[in-house]
Structure 1
Amino acid sequence: MLRNAFLTLLSLAMAIGLGGGSVWYALNAQDGVGAIRIGQWTAFPEIGTQAADPYSKARVAREGVLALGRAEGLSFVAERDDAGEPLRRQCAYTIEGSYPTARFWTLYAADHSLGVIDTGKARQAALQSYEVLRQPDNSVVISVGSRPAPGNWLLTSGFGKMYFVLTFYDTPIASSTGLSDVTLPRILKAGCNA
């Protein structure tokens, strides 16, 4: 009798622990259910639609973000550079390449909650398409780091993990057919302070 009670409690504890762990992983993983990946950038195109999966809806509810609908835009998140290493605030990066057609786009460095990194200065860790300098081929090169750089510079500071969030507004790539031949900028590590 005692053995059966113990086995029942053990089974219940394992079910709750493993079930809760799998849900936590699904809500925190950037390559979760419904994700698409282009290079190092990940997006959830269904997140603001009626067709969104339950994990995407739970992620939006937990983070308190405003999810964009298909006609409004699409957000991509990068947590690794092109070498596959996690993005770190103490490192400098170069984000280079062309950007898909969009009426407007924003790029910012984010903390673990995907909020804009607090730099402790008046300048935020964010850029937008109307303020960047473009190359002759219409591509954009952005220097990211704590030290000022000529051209386009995205300020970051501190230590620890970070993400880049690239959001396109009013863009044809938000439709499922628009994602087939999209290329996004590369993230190259330039060096680290520590």
Structure 2
Amino acid sequence: MLRTILLTLLVLIIAVGGGAGSVQYALDRFEGFGVLEVGQWSAYPAAGTPDSDPYAKARGARNGTLALGAAEGLIFHASRDAQGRLLDRNCTYRITGATPPARFWTLYAADRSLQPLSPETGMLPALHSREILRGENGSFTVIVSPKAQPGNWLPVNGSGFFVLVMTFYDTPVASSSGFSDLVMPRTTLVEEAGCRG
């Protein structure tokens, strides 16, 4: 009798633990359906709509995030540089180029669960389109680095990998008609700056 109870408990522990572990793995590793990829940036235009896939809904519920509706905007993520390497907090990166048309956009660094990194420098952990310094043609350069940089600097701290999050508000990109000629900035490792640590 005791053996049957112990075996039943063991089976339940394996079933519940394995089920919870597989859900956690799927939410952390599987990107979901309907991804829009532009260079190293990816977005989910259907997130926040009734057509959103179950993984996106579960990820949003777990992280406590609210997705923007299709008429509100679109969120892009980049976890790798243009060469395909994971973004490392110990390295310095250069983001160059232009953005799709939008009334307003923000850029910040986040951890792998998309929680914003809080810099130790006391600076705001995000940049936005109204404060960015631009070239004559409207393009810009942002340096993402743990060390202070001149110009547009996005500070990161700590160690490990991070994700860049760029959110466009009130943009035609959020509708399917804006996908065809989409242009996103490019993120490259600044080789001469190296990586600390």
Opposite residue 103 of structure 1, the aligned amino acid is R
* Structure 2 equivalent of residue 85 of structure 1: 85
Distance in structure 2 (CA, Å) of the matches to 1:146 and 1:40? 21
* Structure 1 equivalent of residue 164 of structure 2: 164
Unaligned 5+ runs, structure 2: 1-6
Opposite residue 135 of structure 2, the aligned amino acid is Q
From the superposition, tell whether residues 16 and 88 of structure 1 become closer, same or farther in structure 2 (CA, over 3 Å). Answer: same
Q: How many residues align?
A: 187
RMSD: 2.1
Unaligned 5+ runs, structure 1: 1-5
TM-score, length basis structure 1: 0.87
Distance in structure 2 (CA, Å) of the matches to 1:72 and 1:153? 27
From the superposition, tell whether residues 94 and 137 of structure 1 become closer, same or farther in structure 2 (CA, over 3 Å). Answer: same
Distance in structure 1 (CA, Å) of the matches to 2:120 and 2:102? 31
From the superposition, tell whether residues 32 and 14 of structure 1 become closer, same or farther in structure 2 (CA, over 3 Å). Answer: farther
Aligned pair 1:96/2:96, yes or no?
yes
Q: How much does 1:121 deviate?
A: 2.8
From the superposition, tell whether residues 45 and 22 of structure 1 become closer, same or farther in structure 2 (CA, over 3 Å). Answer: farther
Distance in structure 1 (CA, Å) of the matches to 2:52 and 2:32? 12
Distance in structure 2 (CA, Å) of the matches to 1:37 and 1:54? 20
Q: How much does 1:37 deviate?
A: 1.1
* Structure 1 equivalent of residue 64 of structure 2: 64
From the superposition, tell whether residues 37 and 14 of structure 1 become closer, same or farther in structure 2 (CA, over 3 Å). Answer: farther
Contact 1:104–1:130 (CA<8 Å) still a contact in 2? Answer: yes
Opposite residue 146 of structure 1, the aligned amino acid is P
TM-score, length basis structure 2: 0.86
Overall identity of the aligned pairs, in %: 50
Q: How much does 1:13 deviate?
A: 9.1
SS in 2 for 1:91: coil
Distance in structure 2 (CA, Å) of the matches to 1:134 and 1:30? 36
